[in-house]
Amino acid sequence: MADEAPFQFLHSELIQYIYKSADTEDTENGRNISKLENLGCRVGQGLIERLTKDAPRFKDELDIMKFICKDFWTCLFKKQIDNLRTNHQGIYVLQDSQFRLLSHLSAGKQYLDYAPKYLAFTCGLVRGALSNLGLRSVVTAEISDMPACKFQVLIQKM
């Protein structure tokens, strides 16, 4: 495919659909987020399988995270993660200063409340990718200043 517009539109339709199909609004919010996240997770698993088909084995956890930040992110959003930080104890913070899926929302504070649902699917993508690389994780996202956002990856020791 030559273009990312279809994916962007499909992604927002997906959010629309998940939110509309819920019965009540407030209490369901958490469940909608996790529904979106689970959908993303499945997609992430499929993608990483295709992407690492011919790749050599990874050295360690950090190597995997670097792969997520560079290759995986480039495939998804045509750019790399701008900043990767870690405490070397299983917590990684991935910072994207120009997150694609927020790019069509106003950069001000106006839509800050709506932004989390645009990140849930991507959190799932990362979690799914990691899970197929043998890492169990919890991925959350926070938005400080649109369209910049941070994904926090917490690797769970098995």
Partner 1 sequence: MSRQSNRTTDSKKMNSELFTLTYGALVTQLCKDYENDEEVNKQLDKMGYNIGVRLIEDFLARSTIGRCQDFRETADVIAKVAFKMYLGITPSVTNWSPAGDEFSLILENNPLADFVELPDNHNTLIYSNLLCGVLRGALEMVQMAVDVKFAQDTLRGDNVTEIRMKFIKRIEENLPAGEE
Asked if 3 touches partner 1 (CB under 8 A), the answer is yes
- ∠ CA(92), CA(98), CA(102), 5° rounding? 100
Under the criterion CB under 8 A, does residue 54 sit at the interface with partner 1?
A: yes
Q: Which stretch binds partner 1 (CB under 8 A): 32-40, 90-98, 110-118, 133-141?
A: 32-40
Report in angstroms how near the CB of residue 63 gets to partner 1 at its nearest.
Answer: 9
- Dist CA 148 CA 103 (whole Å): 9
Question: Could you tell me if 69 and 110 are in contact, meaning their C-beta atoms sit under 8 angstroms apart?
Answer: no
Contact call for residue 78 and partner 1 (CB under 8 A): yes
Q: Which is nearer to partner 1, 74 or 83 (CB)?
A: 74
Strand spans (E) along 3-157: 83-86, 91-96, 136-145, 148-156
Q: What are phi and psi of 99, to 5 degrees?
A: -70, 125
- Choose one: 3-11, 82-90, 134-142, 149-157; the region binding partner 1 (CB under 8 A): 3-11
- Looking up tokens 């900043």 gives 83
Instruction: State the minimum distance, in angstroms, from the CB of residue 87 to partner 1.
Output: 25
**67 contributes a contact to partner 1 by CB under 8 A:** yes
Question: 137, 146, 142, 6: which is closest to 61 by C-alpha?
Answer: 137
Residue of 72, 50, 105 lying closest to 81 (CA atoms) = 72
Position 113 contacts partner 1 (CB under 8 A):
no
Give min distance, CB of 117 to partner 1, in A. 15
Binding site residues, partner 1, CB under 8 A? 1-7, 9-11, 13-14, 16-18, 21, 35, 39-40, 42-43, 46-47, 50-52, 54-56, 67, 70-71, 74-76, 78, 121
